[in-house]
Every structure is written in structure tokens, then in C-alpha cells.
Homo-oligomer: A and B are copies of this chain.
Amino acid sequence: MKKEIPQMPPYPAPEWAVTQWFNSAPLSPDSLRGRIIVLGAFQMLCPGCVAHGLPQLQRVEQTFSREEVAVVGLHTVFEHHAAMTPVALEAFLHEYRIGFPVGVDTHTDPAGPPVTMQRYKLRGTPSLILIDRLGQVRHDAFGQEPDLALGARIAMLLAEGSGAEVAVSDQQEQPNCTIEGGCN
């Protein structure tokens, strides 16, 4: 069941080629130096992004301290360009209550993926990239990454070069059988 995952060799996070930012002033790997960056590449009409990728980014934002972990979305449109315009994206972010910064990846090659997507060699959407405090790419994943593994990966980056305990938020949802009160 247990698969050993080879660690990728770290490399410096490429610049983000973004034409427009939502929910934020312009950001870059450099401007976020000192924080862990959880970068989520998505397309607003990608079913797996809507069902899994984006809700997971929202959970990451709620679980970790924003001073320590920066969640950033990247709209990497590689198909249906006329449908997934910045105007459409803005409405999408509003309806889906997405409050973290989202950048629109620059699209120059009509036949290929957008620029940042190429720089990070992403295979599709949703994709997840983890960048450490020193600006190095430490992990990427295409598709659905389980929350347990992602939580562990983020915490391992947080633990690097840090003597302090790291804050993690619990969201208790369904307690069950109490000694005094039976099950509910």
C-alpha cells in the first residue's frame, strides 16, 4: 500500500508571468520569501479543480497561519480561452467565495499552455506546487493530493530552520459519543 515517493531535487521557483491579479496586489516568489507558498494551478471550467483542487486550497488557507503559509492560485488556461476570460474568472471567484490571491497566467502561444505553466513544467490542472521559505520548489503534484499528505508536506517545510512550534488550526465538526451524553 505504502509507496515511497522519490523526493524531487529542489530548484529555484521560476517567476510568475501574470497579466492580472485578483484579491491582491501583484505577487512574486520573491515578494513572499520567508513564507511557504502553496501554489495551485487551476482552470475555472476544470471539474476536478472545482470539486477538489480549489476547496483544498481554501482548507489550507484556514488551517495554517497566513504569516507562515501563503496560498496563491494561478489561472492556467490551456483550452476554451474564449470562455475562461478574466471577466469570467472574476465572477467565478466571487461565486465560489475564493478569497486568496489569484493570478492570470500569461498566454502567448495559441497552440500551447500559458507561460508560467510551461516554466513549472505542469502537465495539467489541478496542479499543486510547494515552495519553501528560501524560494525553492520542493514538491509538485498533478491531480488530487490527499489532505493528510499535503498537510504533512507543508508542515515539513514549516519545520525547516524553525525552532518554534507551528500553529495549526483544528476545525472540529462532528464529535460523537461523550461519556456523559451518549452519542450524537
Contacts and interface: CB of A to CB of B under 8 A. Distances in A.
B91 A87 contact: no
A50 B167 CA distance: 29
Contacts of A1: 61-62
A151 interface: yes
Contact of A125 (B45, B49, B177): B177
Contact of A153 (B96, B168, B178, B183): B168
A149 B123 contact: no
A3 B66 CA distance: 11
A164 to B, nearest CB: 10
10 contacts: A5-B167, A45-B96, A48-B176, A53-B176, A63-B146, A83-B90, A83-B91, A144-B175, A146-B170, A156-B166
A66 B50 CA distance: 30
Contact of A183 (B48, B88, B175): B48
Contacts of A78: 177, 179
B183 A46 contact: yes
A120 interface: no
A2 B179 contact: no
A182 interface: yes
